[in-house]
Amino acid sequence: MPQHARPHPRRRVRGTRTAVAALAGALLLGACSTPDAPPTAAPAASPLPTAATTPGGTLLVADFGADTVTFVDPERGAVGSVPVGRAPYGLVVGADGRAWVATAEGVAVVDTRTRTRLTMIPYRTTGTGPATGGEYRGGGMGIALSPDGAHAYAGVNVPGTTGVLEVIDTAKTQVTAVVPVGRRPFDVDVSRDGSEVYVTGHDSFDVTVVPVGSCGGTGGTGESAASEPPRRIEVAPYGTEGGLGSWLKPHYAVVRPADGMLLLPFEGERLAVVDPRTGRTTVEEMTADTHQHGAAITADGRLLVVGTGAVEPGKGKGPSLTVRSPDGSERVYPLDGPHEGVAVSRDGRTAYVTGGYTRDGYWNGITVVDLDTGSSRRLAAGSRPLGIAVLG
């Protein structure tokens, strides 16, 4: 595929606003949202008794607007919620049924089988500020598990400066290491062999590659990486003009199963394909023409990307879900209203797209998309749901 894409009409408009963006930098630590909309009432999920059990295929969402996680039946909607801590953002679930939830206060651990919070692991990092809501709050954002489940990796936003990766020993449920990374770590991913952790720095236009040996982890086979320091890879297919005020920054990444490459979508126009070993980035064309956030990948290599809508009215298309095949062909399914994160059913046939926080606001539910036909339906699910996982 070509190393560049067609000229970007919105970039020329933004270029004239560089001075404005610089003046607003102290208040705007990124350009992926408007100020927080006032919370709206969400359908309340009834508390569940401790003895409740959770069937496979149930969805778990992080309720950024309600300080809970909500369990969602993919046919009926929300069936119960568990308090976890202030403004939960990302979550990940291990094979043992424990969910690790990145909140403003720390990483909450939830037993998804009994639907109870087991503990809260406070961050070791200082400077995250008070535990508040809003996209720019300090605290945990992206989170991932090592393949063996021995370590959780939480990207922690430290307002006004670079973020950190906090490494958690999942057996001891405590932080064992802290590694500097980029600004506002939207996403955290792990290589398939567990030897490296990849942290997407939204406001620093980069991915930080962290060898597990450099952060005290042992989550894979990467013993040779033990003495390697973390390394930064700039990922900026449109350049870095506008700095903190730019719209054209990385959000979420996935690890391609076939070769371990990192895939980062931009604007429904460009897909950055990053080789974490060499730092080399190539760019492939995308077709949705929409500001893009959440991403997921299926076992057979299909890339799913959530489009949030045009950055500027009339300068792009509306919300959508892109389904990109390994050969680069794409199907773009329209979505109704803003969305953020996405997860895929175990059989790879259904996508679940959260309606939580984006720059245009949010709604309290999930869109269920048939990946064969593109047909969709909505489920009520929690309050401003962001992170999502499918339980085994």
pLDDT the model gives residue 11: 44
Residue whose structure tokens are 């990444």: 253
Question: What are the angstrom distances between the C-alpha of 84 and each of 100, 145, 166?
Answer: 10, 18, 18
Cα 329 versus chain centre, distance: 24
Q: Which helix (H) or strand (E) holds 75?
A: none
Q: Which residue has the tokens 């405590």?
A: 174
Span 4-26, pLDDT tens digits: 333 344 443 333 333 323 323 33
> What's the token pair of residue 192?
């398939």
Rg of the chain on CA atoms, in Å: 19
**11 three-state secondary structure:** helix
Burial class of 329 by CB neighbour count within 10 A (0 to 12, 13 to 18, 19+): exposed
- Over residues 240-259, the pLDDT tens digits come to 999 999 999 999 999 999 99
User: b vs e for 65-88, b when ≥16 Cβ sit within 10 Å of the residue's Cβ?
Assistant: bbbbbbbbbbeebbbbbbebbbbb
User: Strand pairing partners for 62?
Assistant: 69
Integer angstrom CA distances of residue 94 from 110, 352, 390? 11, 19, 11
Given this model, what pLDDT does residue 357 score? 73
User: Residue 94 carries which side chain, given as an amino acid letter?
Assistant: G
Residues 6+ apart with CB under 8 A from 277: none
Q: What is the pLDDT of residues 359-382, one digit of tens each?
A: 668 999 999 999 999 999 999 999
Q: Is pLDDT above 80 for 391?
A: yes
Confidence band of 211 (pLDDT split at 50, 70, 90): very high
pLDDT given at position 314: 87
Closest CA to 268 of 171, 194, 335: 335
Q: Quick one: how far is CA 182 from the chain centroid?
A: 15
Query: Is the pLDDT score of 228 beyond 90?
Result: no
Mean pLDDT (the chain, rounded) = 86
Average pLDDT over residues 37-50: 39
One-letter amino acid at 176 equals T
Under the banding of pLDDT at 50, 70 and 90, the label for residue 139 is very high
Instruction: Give strand pairing partners of 140.
Output: 156
Q: How far apart are the first and last CA of the chain?
A: 37
What percent of the chain is predicted at pLDDT more than 70? 82
Do 352 and 12 touch, CB atoms closer than 8 A?
no
Quote the CA–CA distance of 155 and 4 in Å, as a whole number.
30
The string of pLDDT tens digits covering residues 164-184 is 999 999 999 999 999 999 999
Q: Name the residue with tokens 């949030």.
A: 308
pLDDT band at residue 29 under the 50/70/90 scheme: very low
Is pLDDT at 113 greater than 80 in this prediction?
A: yes
Using alpha carbons, select from 183, 204, 127, 191 the residue that is nearest to residue 153.
Answer: 191
Residue-level pLDDT at 298: 97
DSSP, collapsed to helix, strand or coil, labels residue 384 as coil
The residue-averaged pLDDT of 204-219 equals 80
Q: What's phi and psi for 303, nearest 5 deg? A: -95, 130
Pairing of strands 365-370, 376-380: antiparallel
